[in-house]
Amino acid sequence: MTTRDTAPLGAPCWTDLWTSDVEGSRRFYSELFGWEAQEPSEEFGGYFMFTRNGVPTAGGMGSMGDMAADDSWKIYLDTDDIAKTLQAAESEGAQIVSPAMAVADLGTQAVLIDPTGAQLGTWQAGTFPGFTVLGEHGAPSWFELFTRDHAGAVDFYRSVFHWETQSVSDSDEFRYAVMKDPGTEGELAGIMDASAFLPEGTGSQWSVYWEVDDIDASVAKVLALGGSVVDDAQDTPYGRMATVADPAGAVFKLRTAPR
């Protein structure tokens, strides 16, 4: 388990769900992870928080007017200067989807598409730092970018979000780099060369892994709650992992870290 007051610069600091079935999603994730779904906020257009033991762990939002929800999870990377981050991102070939917008005194957010085609958010914290607990059941466990342009992605996140990266493997069979925490040398996120196995028509994408105590039991619960399995649970050097989807189709990953 990791607890922190603030996220390291450039690290994943928040994640939220854009869902076409708000009430169904509130029930599904609460039952799956033991989260508490807070009431939607009229002030913030119906945005709501999922909490664990009273601590925010993720957000949720339904369709916004004519903008239909795409049933996806989005991660946010921390920045200490969102204007400079967006300027740098554009200069490196990113597309700004939603420009910087203040969210009361909580912070400032923006959404972009990186040069490899993956959507993500960025967050400059005010009073709200994002999630502060990782690695417990129902808390974030890992963050990962699947990309068709591994070298381009690594260069982009180094340049724009100031990542310090380390190559784990650089072969055609397995090409992977990790973001290192400059303070602790811990690993914060990964970039995988997925060009060999991403399905045709599927673009680069960020994924969040949620830690669970028993991945097989959690996969069974996903199915019992009306979700589906995208990739069956399998053992890896980094723990036992599975890819699943909620009943509305939003894909996410489960992980039981090595003990």
Q: What is the pLDDT of residues 29-55, one digit of tens each?
A: 999 999 999 999 988 999 999 999 999
Cβ-in-10-Å burial (0-12, 13-18, 19+) of 176 comes to middle
DSSP letters along 106-127, please? TEEEEEEE-TTS-EEEEEEESS
Q: Give the integer Cα–Cα distance in Å for 237 and 231.
A: 17
| Helices and strands in the chain: count of H runs, count of E runs | 4, 18
238 or 249, which is more confident: 249
Task: State how far the Cα of 17 lies from the Cα of 161, in Å rounded to an integer.
Answer: 23
Which sign, positive or negative, has the C-alpha torsion 121, 22, 233, 136? positive
Output the furthest CA–CA distance in the chain (Å, rounded): 50
Higher-pLDDT residue of 54, 201 = 54
**Res 1 pLDDT > 80:** no
- What's residue 107's pLDDT? 97
Mean pLDDT, range 186-208, rounded to an integer: 90
What's the N-to-C CA distance of the chain in angstroms?
12
Residue carrying structure tokens 């903008």: 67
pLDDT 10s digits, 137-184: 999 999 999 999 999 999 999 999 999 999 998 887 789 999 998 777
Average pLDDT of the chain to the nearest whole number: 95
Model confidence pLDDT, tens digit, residues 76-104: 999 999 999 999 999 999 999 999 999 99
d(CA 247, CA 228): 7
Question: Which among 73, 96, 77 is positioned nearest to 158, based on CA atoms?
Answer: 77
What pLDDT band is residue 219 in, cutting at 50, 70 and 90? Answer: very high
Instruction: Give residue-wise pLDDT tens across range 102-145.
Output: 999 999 999 999 999 999 999 999 999 999 999 999 999 999 99
Q: What is the pTM of this model?
A: 0.96
Tell me which of 1.10.260.40, 3.10.620.30, 1.10.1240.10, 3.10.180.10 is the CATH number of domain 1-259: 3.10.180.10
Where do the domains of the chain lie?
1-259
Higher pLDDT, 131 or 202: 131
pLDDT at 182: 79
pLDDT tens, 10-33?
999 999 999 999 999 999 999 999
